[in-house]
Amino acid sequence: MPTIYDVAEACGVAPSTVSRAFSRPGRVNADTAARIRRVAEEMGYRANPLARALPTGKTSLLALVVSDVTNPFYFEIIRGAELAATEADYTLLVADVHESATAERTALERALPLVEGVVLGTSRMSDSTIRVMAKQRPTVVLNRVLTGIPSVITDNARGTRRAVEHLAELGHRSLAYVAGPEASWADGMRWRAMRETAEELSLRVHRVGPYAPTLTGGTEAALAVAGSPATAVVAYNDLVAIGLMRGLAAAGVRVPRDVSVVGFDDIFGAELCSPALTTVAAPLQSLGRFAVQTLLSGMRSRTPPDARAALLPAQLVVRESTARRSSRRRGA
């Protein structure tokens, strides 16, 4: 592949002249600039826009960091973020950090010199680490509230409340919460909202976990749930809920006849499993789109960005995995 030095030698000019012919053609003689571009085209040379942009910091690149790109939760978030970036003539880079705070920090350290802004999707890093990173590039956080940093979240409290109310309406008095990662801000919010709502409705509630936010994590939780008095379960997310239903079925516990199950997020596949999953639906594509729009708005503004959390609505989608309480379960 030809380099800028090859073009310079072919044209009999300095490499800096070739560089200016592409980046600042007005500073090069018109005939010389035209000759350089013609020779470059004949040789198949293409100027590197990133190399030209790095000194100014205007790379037209944004980064979206996700904890697990294989989780369907991120499919629509990535799509929404990418659409918003493209509309603004930016390119979105996606980094998958495998639920690891260490990998997340490493990915950001490598990406920060290249991008103009960052969206952190359900970050596993500590608050202090996020604040350090946010001092280097404009940052928006998804599914987490952090003082001083713009964030976009789903209404976890309202969504959890509606799920618990739904189970209470079906006659369930003993509930379990299958927890996700300890480092998850959303997990803490959901558990708190579940406890508060259960207390208001005079329900019994207990927590099992934490478990990985995966199908395997849900399957591993099945024995703990099967051995408990709970007749209904709220799971950290849909993957955990689906894995839980599989594990319960293997243990001879029927959903929803013996135990009702509610998930979170309404991911692709939630309505395709058997039984179809009742879940708290999050506006996933809107989360991604609004996060990028918020990031770009802050980057363009001469005033400090609004660091308040943007709250997007959540709604309960009732399907087949919840039913009236079974009198055959302990705790009924």
**Which stretch, 22-26, 148-152, 222-226, has highest mean pLDDT?**
222-226
Instruction: Taking residues 242-263, report their average pLDDT.
Output: 97
Q: Name the least confident of 62-66, 162-166, 314-318, 326-330.
A: 326-330
Instruction: Taking residues 72-83, report their average pLDDT.
Output: 96
Give one DSSP letter per residue of 64-117, joined into a string.
Answer: EEES-TTSTHHHHHHHHHHHHHHHTT-EEEEEE-TT-HHHHHHHHHHHTTT-SE
What is the pLDDT at residue 2? 81
Q: Which one has a higher pLDDT value, 236 or 33?
A: 236
pLDDT band with cut points at 50, 70 and 90 for residue 131 = very high
pLDDT above 80: residue 163: yes
How many angstroms separate the first and last alpha carbons of the chain? 72
For the chain, domains (ranges, CATH) are: 4-47 (1.10.260), 61-153+283-312 (3.40.50.2300), 156-282 (3.40.50.2300)
Q: Which one has a higher pLDDT value, 318 or 31?
A: 318
Angle between helix 238-250 and helix 215-226 axes, rounded to 10 deg: 50
pLDDT above 60: residue 166: yes
pLDDT band with cut points at 50, 70 and 90 for residue 19 = confident
pTM of the model: 0.81
Give residues with Cβ within 8 angstroms of 24, minimum separation 6: none
Q: Are 177 and 280 in contact (CB under 8 A)?
A: no
Q: Which of 162, 172, 148, 161 is nearest to 196 (CA)?
A: 161
pLDDT above 70: residue 240: yes
H helix intervals, 201-316 = 215-226, 238-250, 284-300
Q: Are 106 and 161 in contact (CB under 8 A)?
A: no
What is the pLDDT at residue 332? 46
Distance CA 193, CA 57 (A): 43
What is the pLDDT at residue 311? 93
Instruction: Taking residues 30-41, report their average pLDDT.
Output: 90
Average pLDDT, the chain: 91
pLDDT above 60: residue 151: yes
pLDDT above 60: residue 288: yes
Identify the three-state secondary structure at position 259: coil
* Backbone angles phi and psi of 221, in degrees to 5: -80, -15
Q: Letter for the amino acid at 310?
A: A
Triad 15, 20, 25: Cα angle to 5°: 140
At 293-305, the pLDDT tens digits run 999 998 887 666 6
DSSP state, residue 269: T
Distance CA 123, CA 143 (A): 8
Instruction: Taking residues 196-215, report their average pLDDT.
Output: 97
What is the pLDDT at residue 91? 95
Percent of the chain having pLDDT more than 70? 93
Token pair 């308040």 is at which residue? Answer: 308
Torsion angle of alpha carbons 207, 213, 217, 218, nearest 10°? 70
Percent of the chain having pLDDT more than 90? 73
Instruction: Taking residues 299-325, report their average pLDDT.
Output: 86
Here the tokens at position 66 are: 């996700």
Half-sphere exposure of 178 (CA within 13 A, CB side): 37
